[in-house]
Amino acid sequence: MKSLVHYIGTQELQAFLRHHPVPQVIDAIAGYIESDYLRWHAFDKTARLASHSKIGVIELMPISDGQLYSFKYVNGHPANTAAGLLTVTAFGVLADVETGYPRLLSELTITTALRTAATSLLAARAMARKGSRVMALIGNGAQSEFQAIAFHCLLGIDEIRVFDVDPAATDKLCANLRAYAQLTVRRAASVAEAVQGADIVTTVTADKRNALIVTPEMVAPGMHFNAVGGDCPGKTELHPAILAQARVVVEFEPQSRIEGELQQMPADFAVTELWQVLHGQATGRGSDAEVTVFDSVGFALEDFSALRYLDTHLSDYAQVIGLIPQLTDPKNLYGAIAPHSPAVRIPELVSLIKEVE
Ligand SMILES: NC(=O)c1ccc[n+]([C@@H]2O[C@H](COP(=O)([O-])OP(=O)(O)OC[C@H]3O[C@@H](n4cnc5c(N)ncnc54)[C@H](O)[C@@H]3O)[C@@H](O)[C@H]2O)c1
């Protein structure tokens, strides 16, 4: 029935992931994201709508291809972890444009980590030097395992140098990566130590300020930066001089000018959009010596793709929920509530009658 809405919560996704290995799921989501980026012009695109507070942001991310519409609700509150809460939580909806009816309401907190790793992977496949083997991973929080697993299992990274200002976060990451026996994980004492000799540098820190996580003297020719954590006005990770010397690829330029590392650069600083690289209209890397930056902020299209993936592959795990009334006569919305009204009123009547008696 068209009005039935599927629901995928954390438990449903966990059940699915018990039978589907994470690398396989990230790879499949990357396939969905790539196929949607390849039909870039089919989408009605807009920069996300952000509501900022001093310590965080709540964003709505809508997009449509004319057949399906999706939005994601997502927050970013770096101080949350000190209170035992996630920095990033999310949920989203996939709807049919023809009727406007929602078809899927889903958790997107874990899914965001999967789709962000998938997008990083797509960019790195096109931008990192072939044969990249060593990655520095700066920021070892909620997103970090997903990035590490994607780059190890799907790009050929076999050594990861990890650093976080919070040693407990690094302990957690190292423990979670122990299952990947072919991956060497080395703890670094500083960002500079982690970055030295790395082919790829993934920054995935959370701090609402213009942080200088990586500075120009740490950069070596040919490095690829996968800059994930700077995704909000006033929240960046790379020194602007690194961008000035690099080939910079963004997701959706109007949004990245406001939110990405790009916010630090002049308005006419040239960038390429990811779809152009994936489409073969632009190159992701000009030479082995070139420094490349994927300035990731997260774009609605990636959530649209992830929701499509969930909609297709998790239908056996999803619940059907009564989000939309089921009506035999769609003009009789009142009929959906009328049958219950007497049940509410009868006890009231009984007590009134008793009072009168
Ligand atoms: N681009 C995207 O699509 C995308 C998607 C999801 C999350 N994000 C962003 O990625 C970032 C990380 O998200 P998360 O869910 O892992 O957050 P998290 O809070 O779980 O982890 C962030 C980690 O960064 C560490 N950190 C902070 N400052 C640091 C510094 N100067 N040097 C080293 N480590 C530092 C913290 O100690 C923490 O362990 C956030 O800023 C989030 O907004 C981006």
Q: Residue 226: beta bridge partners? A: 202, 294
The model's confidence at residue 2, banded by pLDDT at 50, 70 and 90, is low
Mutation to probe ligand 1, out of 52, 164, 171, 236 (largest number of atoms < 8 A from CB)? 164
Any ligand 1 atom below 6 A from CB of 87: yes
- Report, in angstroms and rounded to the nearest whole number, the Rg of the chain calculated over CA atoms: 23
At 228, list the tokens: 């994930």
Q: What DSSP designation does 235 have?
A: B
Judge whether residue 157 has pLDDT over 50: yes
Mean pLDDT computed over 149-164? 98
Note the pLDDT of residue 352: 45
Tell me how crowded residue 86 is: count the other CB atoms within 10 A of its CB: 13
Judge whether residue 344 has pLDDT over 50: no
Note the pLDDT of residue 11: 98
| Distance in angstroms (rounded) separating the CA atoms of residues 147 and 142 | 10
| Distance in angstroms (rounded) separating the CA atoms of residues 15 and 32 | 21
The pLDDT tens digits of the residues spanning 179-214 come to 999 999 999 999 999 999 999 999 999 998 999 999
Query: DSSP 3-state assignment of 85?
Result: coil
Note the pLDDT of residue 357: 43
For the annotated catalytic residues, the residue numbers are 231
Q: How many CA atoms within 13 Å lie on the side-chain side of 250?
A: 21
Any ligand 1 atom below 6 A from CB of 139: yes
| Contact yes or no for 290/242 (Cβ under 8 A) | no
Mean pLDDT computed over 151-162? 98
The model's confidence at residue 350, banded by pLDDT at 50, 70 and 90, is very low
Note the pLDDT of residue 3: 73
Any ligand 1 atom below 6 A from CB of 76: yes
Nearest-atom number in ligand 1 for the CA of 228 is 1
Query: DSSP 3-state assignment of 306?
Result: helix
Mutation to probe ligand 1, out of 48, 61, 205 (largest number of atoms < 8 A from CB)? 205
Model confidence, pTM: 0.95
Any ligand 1 atom below 6 A from CB of 140: yes
* Residue 355 burial class via C-beta count within 10 angstroms: exposed 0-12, middle 13-18, buried 19 and up: exposed
Mean pLDDT computed over 76-96? 98
Ligand 1 mean position to 89 CA, how many Å? 13
| Distance in angstroms (rounded) separating the CA atoms of residues 324 and 95 | 12
Per this entry, what is the length of the chain?
A: 357
Note the pLDDT of residue 340: 60
At 203, list the tokens: 């920054």
Judge whether residue 312 has pLDDT over 70: yes
The model's confidence at residue 1, banded by pLDDT at 50, 70 and 90, is low
Residues 6+ apart with CB under 8 A from 343: none
